[in-house]
Amino acid sequence: MKSVTILGATGSIGVSTLDVIAQHPERFKVFALSASQNIERLFAQCQAFKPRYAVLTQVNAAEQLQALLKQVDIPTEVLAGEEALSFIAAHPDTDYVMAAIVGAAGLRPTLAAAQAGKRVLLANKEALVMSGQLFMDAVQSAGAELLPIDSEHNAIFQCLPTQNRQQGVQKLLLTASGGPFRTWEQERLASITPAQAVAHPNWSMGKKISVDSATLMNKGLETIEACWLFNMPMEQIEVVVHPQSTIHSMVTYCDGSVLAQLGNPDMRTPIAYALGYPERLPSGVEPLDFFQLARLDFERPDLVRFPCLRLAAEAHQAGGYATIALNAANEEAVQAFLNQQIGFLDIPRLIEQVLAQACSGTPTTLETIFIQDKDSREAALSWIKNKKM
Ligand code: NAD
Ligand code: MG
């Protein structure tokens, strides 16, 4: 029986994780759940899974949830704040930690789980983009197990050799759906609304990653994620636009073989894979029906209409401070776009400006990471403030 902590339980990945766990009550129990502010959903999840701990961001929200749980005799202890997240992530009684908080807010608890030697199921790509070497070193020195949840990285993980992970590997091919605006002319991109941007053609996800998929920043963050996870230089990672999202990614070998992982676009597949690894578990996802699949298409990404992919590659080449700036500027830009303060095409413009101000080199401590994060957010916010719509 493995005990699981879910950071970001009320989000898209969190809900899918609980769905898989509920299918295997003999294998998994829930140790702790966290949410930012969604008390109702966290309350329902606590009733269903009876975790030892629940964590909310604000103290008053935690008190409300504690009172609700008391009324229905659920003994879950409710905690509040950032330190409580690291507490449930590193607790000796938890075996697996699903890192599914969105954005920089997930870095500290995800790193705490790695430092405590847990099996870390990594959905929160922003944490790895921000902390790269520091995070991978923590995994290594604590003997943590790092299993990718991002469908592309999970696919690559499945396609790599099981023994010597790099033997014969020539390239990693990261597939990208291309997002909802793949076929749009440049002129139309300026008028994109938040509602259009969050409507992903193939996947149902949180708002932030949906906008990232529309700008292709998601793929940019994922190329950086792949460099760290698989210890590969950027030159050996290629983005292939594949609008059907049936192939989740591929590995090219030196003998001319290409291995791919295919499936319906449902995050329960990579989640079940990472929970059960090295065993395969039923996930609730139907296998592909090849007689229903009309076709599989492939294209090169268009870096002119979608400059975020280029910006991410440039940031990775420039070093750790630049990838922190990239992520921070992107988080602020996406939020401002969702709030209708800036337009869709302002997202890469803002990021490019903030990137130019990043320190050179790579930070070696969490403190310096958060200083760069804060400076870049301030620069982004002042750009947004000065921008006339
Ligand atoms: P979401 O917005 O649906 O959920 C985010 C979760 O994090 C929620 O539980 C929310 O309460 C919590 N949260 C948000 N801000 C927080 C804060 N400041 N402090 C503490 N908790 C906070 O997002 P999602 O789509 O589930 O994505 C989560 C992560 O997984 C992201 O990093 C995303 O890039 C990654 N990911 C998601 C998918 C997907 O299909 N949804 C696929 C691959 C990777
Ligand atoms: Mg992905």
* Amino acid 86: pLDDT: 98
* Amino acid 294: pLDDT: 82
Give the alpha-carbon dihedral of 268, 270, 272, 274, to 10 degrees: -150
> Predicted confidence band at 31 (pLDDT cuts at 50, 70, 90)?
very high
Average pLDDT for 167-173: 98
* Amino acid 211: pLDDT: 97
Residue 70 has pLDDT above 60, yes or no: yes
pLDDT digits (tens, 9 = 90+) for 335-353: 999 999 999 999 999 999 9
> Predicted confidence band at 257 (pLDDT cuts at 50, 70, 90)?
very high
Ligand 2 geometric centre to CA of 321 (Å): 23
Q: Token pair for residue 48? A: 């269903």
Are 155 and 249 contacting, i.e. CB atoms less than 8 angstroms apart?
yes
Residue 313 has pLDDT above 90, yes or no: yes
Average pLDDT for 173-183: 97
**Domain spans of the chain, in order of start:** 2-149, 150-265+287-306, 319-389
Task: Mention the CATH class of domain 319-389.
Answer: mainly alpha
Average pLDDT for 188-194: 96
Ligand 2 geometric centre to CA of 223 (Å): 10
CATH code of the region 2-149: 3.40.50.720
Share of the chain above pLDDT 90, in %: 97
Ligand 1 nearest atom to the CA of residue 10, by list position: 9
Residue 57 has pLDDT above 70, yes or no: yes
Average pLDDT for 116-142: 98
Average pLDDT for 107-116: 98
Ligand 1 nearest atom to the CA of residue 150, by list position: 43
Ligand 1 geometric centre to CA of 357 (Å): 28
- Of 32-36, 291-295, 309-313, 369-373, where does mean pLDDT reach its minimum? 291-295
Ligand 1 nearest atom to the CA of residue 103, by list position: 32
Are 279 and 191 contacting, i.e. CB atoms less than 8 angstroms apart?
no
Ligand 1 geometric centre to CA of 10 (Å): 8
SS (H, E, C) the chain: CEEEEEECCCCHHHHHHHHHHHCCCCCEEEEEEECCCCHHHHHHHHHHHCCCEEEECCHHHHHHHHHHHHHCCCCCEEEECHHHHHHHHHCCCCCEEEECCCCHHHHHHHHHHHHCCCEEEECCHHHHHHHHHHHHHHHHHHCCEEEECCHHHHHHHHHCCCCCCCCCEEEEEEEECCCCCCCCCHHHHCCCCHHHHHCCCCCCCCHHHHHHHHHCHHHHHHHHHHHHHHCCCHHHEEEEECCCCCEEEEEEECCCCEEEEECCCCCHHHHHHHHHCCCCCCCCCCCCCCCCCCCCCCECCCCCCCCHHHHHHHHHHHCHHHHHHHHHHHHHHHHHHHCCCCCCCHHHHHHHHHHHCCCCCCCCCHHHHHHHHHHHHHHHHHHHHHCCC
Residue 189 has pLDDT above 90, yes or no: yes
Average pLDDT for 53-81: 98
Average pLDDT for 165-183: 97
Q: Which ligand is nearest to the CA of 37?
A: 1
pLDDT digits (tens, 9 = 90+) for 318-329: 999 999 999 999
Q: Which ligand is nearest to the CA of 34?
A: 1
Ligand 1 nearest atom to the CA of residue 36, by list position: 11
Average pLDDT of the chain is: 97
Average pLDDT for 297-317: 97
Residues forming a β-bridge with 261: 249
* Amino acid 200: pLDDT: 86
* Amino acid 121: pLDDT: 98
pLDDT digits (tens, 9 = 90+) for 100-110: 999 999 999 99
- Of 47-51, 291-295, 309-313, 354-358, where does mean pLDDT reach its minimum? 291-295
Contacts of 348 (CB under 8 A, 6+ apart): 215, 307, 308, 311
Residue 204 has pLDDT above 90, yes or no: no
* Amino acid 387: pLDDT: 86
> Predicted confidence band at 229 (pLDDT cuts at 50, 70, 90)?
very high
Q: Give the residue among 165, 154, 182 at the shortest CA–CA distance from 248.
A: 154
Q: What Å distances lie between residue 375 and 122, 213, 222, CA to CA?
A: 26, 25, 23
Share of the chain above pLDDT 70, in %: 99
Residue 388 has pLDDT above 70, yes or no: no
Are 282 and 321 contacting, i.e. CB atoms less than 8 angstroms apart?
no
Q: By alpha-carbon position, which residue is closest to atom 25 of ligand 1?
A: 206
* Amino acid 201: pLDDT: 85
Average pLDDT for 117-145: 98
Ligand 2 geometric centre to CA of 150 (Å): 4
Ligand 1 nearest atom to the CA of residue 101, by list position: 7
Pocket of ligand 1 (CB under 6 A): 8-14, 35-36, 38, 57, 100-102, 105, 123-126, 150, 203, 205-206, 209, 267
Contacts of 141 (CB under 8 A, 6+ apart): none
